[in-house]
Structure 1
Amino acid sequence: MIESWRWFGPHDPVSLTDVRQTGATGIVTALHEIPNGTFWPEEEIAARRRMIEAAGLSWVVAESIPVHEDIKTGAPGWEEWARNWADTARALAHQGVKTICYNFMPVLDWTRTDLDFELQDGATALRFEFAAYAAFDLFILERDGAEAEYSADDIAAAEAFMGSASTQDRDRLTANIIAGLPGSEESYTLETFRERLAAYRNVGRQELFQNLRNFLDIVVPAAEEAGAVLAIHPDDPPRSLFGLPRIAGTLADLLHIASMNPSPANGFTLCTGSLGVHPDNDLPAIVRALGDRIHFAHLRATRREGDPRSFYEDAHLAGDIDIVSIVREMRHLETGAGKQIPMRPDHGHRILNDLTGTSTPGYPAIGRLRGLSELRGVLKAVNYFEGH
């Protein structure tokens, strides 16, 4: 596997020089400064590639080309946004960046309620607390019809959260959910968030699946022509939020997406954290089922709490998943397909100097380096035992 590192561009607190010192060789990045739906000029892609290569690294994955919301809702004119996306994929491939990660999550990208959840050892982690999410939905956002989606116990837990939350706590929760986490390309106020949710009033799971199929009909041929592969990221968390449909959270969902277009270019990002949140997901089985459609991997672990809808980011070798078995299946996949798959550590804990320094939520330097080191050890062990 190609050891890689998420880098958010020249303003990332973790520099390319820092990345080089981790031992990673691949960079996973995007032109985050370009608005959603806009074509990425090839000269700007080339300039970013040269910057990365000057640091002794390679740009191995574009994560992500954002998918415009009009594509997801099927709004009039969505085809223009899809053609821009396809042209960007061609430009990336022409510059040697041939693995392209994207997601099809409506309105929000990955979502957390707490960015500094303190663990027993003093480190901090990202967390999704269902009671806090419900409190925001019911009592801060005040979404129409939300009450019907919660049980009496859920509403009581949300009320208890609000009763103990300070104004600062409520403001922080709101910012965490709608201000846009790293890698997200959209941020909202409460009013614009309500407006965006309203655009999905007539979009359910079947409509969203169809809109993805329509999108793939345009972008997959472009990727094939350019020699690129597309890798859809699973939903995070893998369930409906704010009444919005989500369609990439289980093996059945992913197999349905695979059936939309038989091309290997219609592929997947294996995110073990996102998929691991769903208690019914068997991750080694998912690797076997998707086979050589897996083009990229986010290796991390999540741990469900008392309420199985709540979870936090655990250490990379902990949590509710068997990372060793997953890596073993990934190595079998690589051997069978004759390729190397870029992987990166994801959502590390804030530890040591991360706790006092500047870092992007979920992407501290030392916490991710710990994760990469642990994953490197697993890879070495798997390679050794598979060879004997």
Structure 2
Amino acid sequence: MRGLIQTMRWFGPTDPVTLHFLRQAGCEGVVTALHHIPPGEIWTITEINKRKEMITAAGMSWAVVESLPVSEDIKRRSGNWQQHIAHYIESMRNLAACGIDVITYNFMPVLDWVRTDIHWTLENGSRALRFERLAFIVFDVFLLRRPGADGDYQPDDITAAVRLLQQMTTENRETLFKNAMLGLPGTDGHFTRQQILSALDTYEGIDANALRQHLLLFLQAIIPTAEELGIRMAIHPDDPPFPVLGLPRVVSTAEDLQLILDAVPATANGLCFCTGSLGVLAGPELPDMVKRFGPRIHFLHLRNVQSDHSGNFYESDHLQGNTDMYAVMREVVLLMQRENRRIPMRPDHGHQMLDDLGKKTYPGYSAIGRLKGLAELRGLEAGIAGK
């Protein structure tokens, strides 16, 4: 049996990292989505095949959908949520008809991943994504000015944030604001202050218990169709794995994952196992989590983070950080051998380095840093598998 299905994420025809670049990197599969179709609308067979044909023409396959987005109406169970679930199921049927059977999604309210610095310079001159807790407090309390935000932090944290704010130039403040308000993957824009505050208002009264219940009801609605179609749904963990902007997050820990899998026990209800998102809090535990959740892992995001006890973290080299990537890969190889199946994997994110330092790409998705990560992970897998 061949090993991992090696892929990279591609944001579509406007992505400066082209399909030909991914092919040159050694990818056999592509991870992408129809980013031009708003959440809640149907992905038609015509649009799916249009994207699939581009990928096939470049010598690869569309291995994983990332993501088929869950609308905010579904997450809140308000507005057009019933219609959106019906549209989601229709999109699943259309993807299956086109031969695509792994769908990634997340259930993070309002925002996708959050960072405070998207060009954090490492000692060697390359750049990484970083989350600094104190900078985020500055953003939340003093730049976004979210009503009631100061009540979510300790007085000492507010005092320290004031000191940091006083040290920041106008340019520093503007950069922090833009970084924290970065739009969703596949988009070029940033959210505005009013857009975020308005979106936050729509979650008033929805706590972690309510959001978790909404997730489980969503899964109960779609998983029977996934089983019927042979589709494997893969939920992506929260990034970062803790509440932000007063919003609950319910896919952050091993206990969260277990609850989701137990509530809807079909194999079709599975995981996108992201060692970066989970690794912020549970890095040393990830090899055991691969063993624990193995049969329900349908997609792998392999990256590493380095965190501290203050809630800060940055995206480190793929083989260095909180997570013992050798131990994770060993469990993945054993899982694939045990179940006689291949799992799609992408080297999630990558440092901006070498010639890419002067290029504009979506943060975390420059070509060379991901190529480096893919090469390291490929070599790690080959060594463990004895190839």
**What are the residue-to-residue correspondences of 1:75-94 with 2, within 5 Å?**
75-94=78-97
Residues 316-352 of structure 1, C-alpha deviations (whole Å, 9 max, x = no match): 0001110010011111111222210000001100110
Change (3 A) 1:322 1:273: same
Is the CA contact 1:13–1:359 (under 8 Å) kept in the aligned structure 2? yes
Post-superposition offset of 1:181? 4.5
Report the counterpart of residue 59 of structure 1 in structure 2.
62
C-alpha separation in 1, matches of 2:101 and 2:140:
39
Residue 367 of structure 1 pairs with residue 369 of structure 2: yes
Report the counterpart of residue 6 of structure 1 in structure 2.
9
Amino acid at match of 1:160: R
Is the CA contact 2:301–2:348 (under 8 Å) kept in the aligned structure 1? yes
Post-superposition offset of 1:36? 1.2
Identity of aligned residues (%): 46
Unaligned runs of 5+ in 2: none
Post-superposition offset of 1:161? 2.1
Report the counterpart of residue 310 of structure 1 in structure 2.
312
Report the counterpart of residue 41 of structure 1 in structure 2.
44
Report the counterpart of residue 282 of structure 1 in structure 2.
285
Residue 22 of structure 1 pairs with residue 25 of structure 2: yes
Report the counterpart of residue 98 of structure 1 in structure 2.
101
Post-superposition offset of 1:164? 1.6
Report the counterpart of residue 382 of structure 1 in structure 2.
384
Amino acid at match of 1:21: Q
Of 65, 68, 74, 2:77 maps to: 74
Change (3 A) 1:186 1:275: farther
Amino acid at match of 1:296: F
- Secondary structure at 2:205 match in 1: coil
Change (3 A) 1:376 1:364: same
Post-superposition offset of 1:308? 3.4
Is the CA contact 1:250–1:281 (under 8 Å) kept in the aligned structure 2? no
**What are the residue-to-residue correspondences of 1:151-170 with 2, within 5 Å?**
151-170=154-173
- TM-score, length of structure 1 as denominator length: 0.96
Residues 223-242 of structure 1, C-alpha deviations (whole Å, 9 max, x = no match): 11211110000000000001
C-alpha separation in 1, matches of 2:187 and 2:240:
14
Unaligned runs of 5+ in 1: none
- Secondary structure at 2:338 match in 1: helix
Residue 321 of structure 1 pairs with residue 323 of structure 2: yes
Runs of 4+ aligned structure 1 residues displaced above 3 Å come to: 183-187
C-alpha separation in 1, matches of 2:233 and 2:358:
37
Which is further off, 164-173 or 32-41?
164-173
C-alpha separation in 2, matches of 1:89 and 1:129:
38
Amino acid at match of 1:249: S
C-alpha separation in 2, matches of 1:114 and 1:344:
23
Amino acid at match of 2:178: A
C-alpha separation in 2, matches of 1:126 and 1:295:
26
- Secondary structure at 1:195 match in 2: helix
Post-superposition offset of 1:279? 4.3
Post-superposition offset of 1:247? 0.5
Residues 196-230 of structure 1, C-alpha deviations (whole Å, 9 max, x = no match): 11111111111011100111122111211211110
Report the counterpart of residue 222 of structure 1 in structure 2.
225
Amino acid at match of 2:145: E
Is the CA contact 1:300–1:345 (under 8 Å) kept in the aligned structure 2? yes
C-alpha separation in 2, matches of 1:289 and 1:94:
32
- Secondary structure at 2:281 match in 1: coil
Amino acid at match of 1:66: P
C-alpha separation in 1, matches of 2:129 and 2:251:
21
Is the CA contact 2:283–2:324 (under 8 Å) kept in the aligned structure 1? no
C-alpha separation in 2, matches of 1:260 and 1:319:
32
Amino acid at match of 2:6: E
Residues 108-159 of structure 1, C-alpha deviations (whole Å, 9 max, x = no match): 1011110100000000100001011000111011122221211122112211
Is the CA contact 1:32–1:185 (under 8 Å) kept in the aligned structure 2? no
- Secondary structure at 1:237 match in 2: coil
C-alpha separation in 2, matches of 1:35 and 1:304:
34
Of 128, 132, 137, 2:131 maps to: 128
Amino acid at match of 1:176: N
Residues 89-109 of structure 1, C-alpha deviations (whole Å, 9 max, x = no match): 111111111000000001110
Is the CA contact 2:275–2:283 (under 8 Å) kept in the aligned structure 1? no
C-alpha separation in 2, matches of 1:302 and 1:361:
16
- Secondary structure at 1:381 match in 2: helix
Change (3 A) 1:185 1:35: farther
Post-superposition offset of 1:55? 0.5
- Secondary structure at 2:380 match in 1: helix
- Secondary structure at 1:278 match in 2: helix
Report the counterpart of residue 332 of structure 2 in structure 1.
330
Is the CA contact 1:275–1:281 (under 8 Å) kept in the aligned structure 2? no
C-alpha separation in 2, matches of 1:294 and 1:280:
17
Of 195, 202, 218, 1:192 maps to: 195
Is the CA contact 2:283–2:323 (under 8 Å) kept in the aligned structure 1? no
Post-superposition offset of 1:280? 7.1
C-alpha separation in 1, matches of 2:39 and 2:379:
38
Residue 209 of structure 1 pairs with residue 182 of structure 2: no
Is the CA contact 1:127–1:312 (under 8 Å) kept in the aligned structure 2? yes
Change (3 A) 1:53 1:283: same
C-alpha separation in 2, matches of 1:128 and 1:86:
35
Amino acid at match of 2:298: H
C-alpha separation in 2, matches of 1:186 and 1:272:
27
